[in-house]
Amino acid sequence: MAKVKVGIIGATGYAGAEILRLLLMHRDAEVVWIGSRSFQGKEIASEYPNFRRFTDLQLIDDDTDRLKEGRILELADEVDVVFTATPQGACASLMSEELLKRTKIIDMSADFRLKDVAVYERWYKITHLAPDFLPEAVYGLTELHREEVKNARILANPGCYTTCSILTAYPLVKAGVIDPSTLIIDALSGVSGAGRSGKVANLFSEVNESAKAYGVASHRHTPEIEQELSLASGEAFTLTFTPHLVPMNRGILATEYAALTKKADGSLWTEAEIRAIYEEAYGNEAFIRLLPAGVCPDTRAVEGTNLVDINFKLDPRTGRIILMGALDNLMKGAAGQAVQNMNVMFGLPETEGLEFIPVMP
């Protein structure tokens, strides 16, 4: 079987470089070209020394304005799939039927995640440049949309907060175990989730020995979480989502609180019943680990992997349940999930290139 030929736009961002790292170890993929707006003409190893001796790929110019002039179609002819690790608006500006006739697109931004263009424009404060392609774009949370992913031409790869938050709550929302309108999500992120560009707020001296909330009642991942969990519940609802920045390189930890519903006979859900719901949903999933009772997810236990660790705790005193999930924001929260989706799209083993034991310490 011929290898899947790959191009990466935005290869010098954290997500783009992580995609490249994974694909260089992938038995069924060949990276044909990688791009950068700022470092074109240089070898990737000059910016990411971890690639020394593993690849001599040089960065081509992937400035969006020049790509829109037709260069993107020439590049698309060389590959089977293009990963676009670009800011919001960039992928949508390139989208056309001519492009999709030539290659598949796995987009790392939010351009095709939200089905309602008005919601996208309200939360991201930009005009959507390719709304006609929203209906066919597949939301690439693989465990929930695997069948749609198989036939996708445009794959909207979810982000880190959303992946962790949605997967942690989805089975219980779908089963009606919790009242989704009572759902509150607190999530912690490592600094790499903010990207590689220089920002004062992300300097070592600003982040070290500190933790802070941000995007309170306004974070752009909120409608994405609501969209997917509303699909699970069968009705639209709103929730409270608060992200926090903590001094670590990688990781997402989501702690979620919700009121339990009662069963049809009026009795309360038991721990065994809730665990059975999770097992039915995720028991055969290669990248989701339901932890033993009493064990809380820990970001270091998933670092460098495509794994998601999930657990829960009943609180009989308040009639609520506490849900917990952890993942690596650059892996299952970005690049790992993108490669997982690529595997499904091209009929490859879903775990190819992604079977790593977490790094500890």
The DSSP-derived string for 8-69 is EESTTSHHHHHHHHHHHT-TTEEEEEEEESSSTTSBGGGT-GGGTTT--PBEEE--HHHIII
Name, in order, each residue with C-beta under 8 angstroms of 193's C-beta and a sequence gap of 6 or more.
160, 161, 252, 329, 333
For residue 331, give the DSSP letter.
I
Q: Are 211 and 246 in contact (CB under 8 A)?
A: yes
Reported as half-sphere exposure (CB side, CA atoms, 13 A), residue 2 has a value of: 5
Q: Which residues pair with 187 in a beta bridge?
A: 243, 254
Kindly state the DSSP code that residue 281 receives in the 8-state scheme.
H
202 burial level (CB within 10 Å; 0-12, 13-18, 19+): middle
Phi, psi of 141 (to 5 degrees): -85, 95
Q: Which two tokens stand for residue 170?
A: 């989805």
- Give the catalytic positions in this structure: 160
Residue 323: which H helix or E strand, with range?
Answer: strand 320-327
- Strand order of the β-sheet with 154-156 is 59-61, 29-36, 4-9, 81-84, 104-107, 154-156, 138-139
Separation between Cα atoms, residue 273 and residue 270, nearest integer Å? 5
b/e burial code for range 303-341 (CB count within 10 A of at least 16 → b): bbbbbbbbbbebeeeeebbebbbbbbbbbbbbbbbbbbb
